[in-house]
Structure formats: C-alpha cells, structure tokens
Structure 1
Amino acid sequence: MAAIDPDAVFWDIGGVIVNLESIQSGHRSFVESLLEEYQSPLPPAEALETWRSALGEYFRGGEGTEYRTAREGYHVAIDEILSGSADEADWEPLFQRIHDDHAEPNDGAVETIRRLSEGEFHLGVISDVDDEEGERLLKTFGVRQHFDSYTSSEAVGYKKPDRRMFETALEKAGVEAEQAVMIGDRYANDIEGADAVGMTTISYGAEDGPAVDYHVDDLREILTLVGMEE
C-alpha cells in the first residue's frame, strides 16, 4: 500500500470512530427504558419504529446542508412516543447514561488515533454529531486529548458535504487541502465533500466511487498509508 505524506488527518465520528450499531443498540435500550419509566402502554417495537420514523422525518426537514441538532430531533421523537408528556430534565440524564453505556468504538479506532497522535500530523475531527455528544464520545473512548481541533456542524451551522465544514477545519489546522486527509464512511457527505475541496480521501465503509483515493477495511491500515508502519 503506497504511503502518503499528509500534514493533517481528519476523522469523522459516527461510523468511523464510533460503531453505529452500538449507538442504535443504545437507542433501542433508551426507548424501552422510556416506556417503562413513563408506564406507557405502547409496544416497544412500535415505539422504536416511531422513534426512527420521527428522527428520519426531522432530519429530512432541513433545507440543503443547513444543520439541525440531533438533540432537538430526540425531543421530537420522544414527544411522538409519549404524546409530549416528558420533560428534557427528566429524560436527558437517562439518555446520556444509556448512550454512554452502549457506545463502542470501531475496532482499531482508538489504537490508530493514539498512534497518529505520536506523529507530526495535525489530528482533527470533522463531524455532524452534536458538539456535546461528540465531545462526550471522544472522552468516553479516551481519545479527545489526542485531537488538535474539533470542527462540528453545530458550530459551523452546516453539515457535510458543505464545503464550509472542510474549509473551517483546514483553516483551524493551518494546512492546504492538498496536504490533508479525510477519513469517512459516507460517500456523498465525507468522501465527495472532502474531495470537492481538494483533500485526499480514505473510505472506511463508504461505497466506492471516483472520489475515493484509498479504501481501508481496518482502521489500522491508515498507519501504513501515512508511513508510520511498514
């Protein structure tokens, strides 16, 4: 595998650092706990489908790449399930506890981030995850301190593939796009978005396409790509 020599390496969170199945498992557990806490007669399967449907509709309701917080989406979904009878002060601690208990990193993510932090790269995050949730995930996995910058859609106001996300991250890092790498799992958002501004792209689970420069099945392969391992 040919090595590249970047000045900055940027990571997506959802689907790259964090395992999405673990997040989905946490959401299932939260919905079940919510029904029990509020003694709702709604069957768990129906409540989970309502949760997923409400969240999907909420996110589709945004215009273009305008950012919509997941936190507000959770409000909408919970109101649908419990007919507006739950207050955030009551359900948010439960959600955070269950979310943190279930969240798991993808295999090799923590090891690779720690190894990359030993190199002479700017290590950054470019993520659509809400600020608070993303920061908490990175701290839970013990890797937040290894990142030099954190660029979120919540702070920028737009979600990937909006070029403002990538340009903001590059400005923070003080590097040109040609010397930066983006690791992502969504082709249209992470890969095409980064490619459009001139970044090198590494696909981890994203579909193949002309915007993919490199593909890895194991995140540890990135260490070989950037010349830290033979």
Structure 2
Amino acid sequence: MNDSQYEAIFWDIGGVILDLESVRAGHRSFVGALAEEHDLDMEKALATWREELGTHFTTRDGTEFRSARVGYQRAVAAMVGRELPEEEWLPVFERATHENLEPVSETVVAIRRLDGHVHQGVVSDIDTWEGERLLEQFGVREHLNAVTTSEEVGRTKPDPAMFETALDKAGIDPARALMVGDRYENDMEGAARMGIDTAAFGGSASEADPDDPTVTYRIEDPFEICDLVGVERDG
C-alpha cells in the first residue's frame, strides 16, 4: 500500500472525473436530435429541458435522492408535449452523451496511478446506471474499489449517510480518508463533518476562504493527490 496518512481516496464525479462542459454539450446534442425528430424549435426545447430538470432537482426535500432518469423522462415529455416511451428517447440520450462526455484527463491518469496503493472510491450524487456507464467509458471503473451513488443510498451529499456508506466499503477510520470534490457544501462540508480530510478541486470548493479549516488542501492538479499519498506521478 503506501506510507501516507491516507488509506482511502474518495472522488466526486462531476467536475472532478467528468468535465462539466461536456455534460452540457451532450445534453444539447440530445435535445437537438429530439428537436429535429419532432420538428421542435431547438432553443425553446433546450430552455424547456433545462427548466424542467432544474425544477425536478431543486424541489426535492432536503437531501432526498431524485433520479436523473425520471427527470430526463419528464423533461422529454415537456419538450415534446406528450409522454414518450423510454425506449424511444433513452438510446438517443445515451448515444449523444457517449459521443460528447469527456473526462478530466489528469484525474483519470491519477486514478490509474493510485490503483493498488490506496482504496479508491467514488462518492457521487448520480444515478447508479449513469455513473457506472461513464466510469466504464472513461476506463477508470476497473481501477476503483467501490462506487457509492445517491441512488444506492437514497440521499445526496452532504448527508452523512453518503460518507458513512463509502467509509463502510473502505473499512477504514474517517481520519484515514480524503475526499476530492468541487462543491463546497456537498463535498467539503459534508466530508469534514464526518472527520474526513478534504481536497478542493475547482468549483465552489476552491472559492472557500483560505483560512477555512473545512478545506484541508486546495489542489489545481489531480496529480497532487498522488503526491499526498506518496505515489510517483509517472511510471
């Protein structure tokens, strides 16, 4: 294993493993394909898609899990004006996202380098099917020891249940774990409240006050996680 204080690294997906701009590109491609098929105005359809998804997630009760897949179904119905069977829109969605989704390449390489040196898990507010699909697409699933999703737990970060589940899978004390995330409240505060050290990588997490003890490290490059664990970046 390694000689550092950390025995487990927990990675967020969106903004850490997955490039968020590529998500927007994938959704736009999907909406465009659906708009063409159903003779819809592209920009109006895209606005409806975004509004419906926003409502789907923002109206949930606290940290309860809400399925993105259900949200997609509702957004499709709002765009087209009627319910569409999943078999009519899901293959189009999967094709559009597969063609557009891009990883944060440095994170992918870091995960591969850390394989075998430390327990690696994902802790993400994502549907299990979607998370597993993109981790396989990026070639990192085989290098991860565990994946903890909000669909599995039934809650979203910063709910303690998310981190408790990940810790149980790793079988370690919180003080021996490090959470890498881009969202301050969900990743930094959520993990810190559980006694897990945190590494802020972009997003609102990196905008925290420099003296904020909630953020243990601020990193600009995922390879810095290799340094913290004592693993060579190359080789």
User: Shorter chain as normaliser: what TM range?
Assistant: over 0.9
Per-residue CA deviations over 1:101-140 (Å, capped at 9, x if unaligned) read 1111013011000001131x11111111110000000000
- Residue 89 of structure 2 is matched in structure 1 by 91
Partner of 1:58: 56
Paired residues for 1:1-230 under 5 Å? 5-40=5-40, 43-119=41-117, 121-205=118-202, 206=205, 207-209=207-209, 210=212, 211-229=214-232
Q: TM-score, normalised by structure 2?
A: 0.92
Deviations 1:171-212 (A, max 9, x none): 111001010000001000011100000001001012214211
Runs of 5+ consecutive residues of structure 2 not aligned to the other structure = none
Instruction: Answer whether contact 1:107 1:218 (CA < 8 A) is retained.
Output: no
**1:156 is aligned with what amino acid?**
V
* 1:45-98 per-position Cα deviation (integer Å, ceiling 9, x unaligned): 121111111101110111000000100110111111111242211010010011
RMSD between superposed Cα atoms in Å: 1.3
Report the Cα distance in structure 2 between the residues aligned to 1:7 and 1:34, rounded to whole angstroms.
46
Q: Which runs of 5+ in 1 are unaligned?
A: none
Matched residue of 2:166: which SS? helix
The percentage of aligned residue pairs carrying the same residue is: 48
- How many angstroms apart in 2 are the aligned matches of 1:39 and 1:155? 37
Query: Runs of at least 4 residues of structure 1 off by over 2 A?
Result: none
Q: Check whether the contact 1:5–1:227 (CA below 8 A) recurs between aligned residues.
A: no
Relative to 1, partners in 2 of residues 1:4 and 1:187: Cα closer, same or farther, differing over 3 Å? farther
TM-score, reference length from structure 1: 0.94
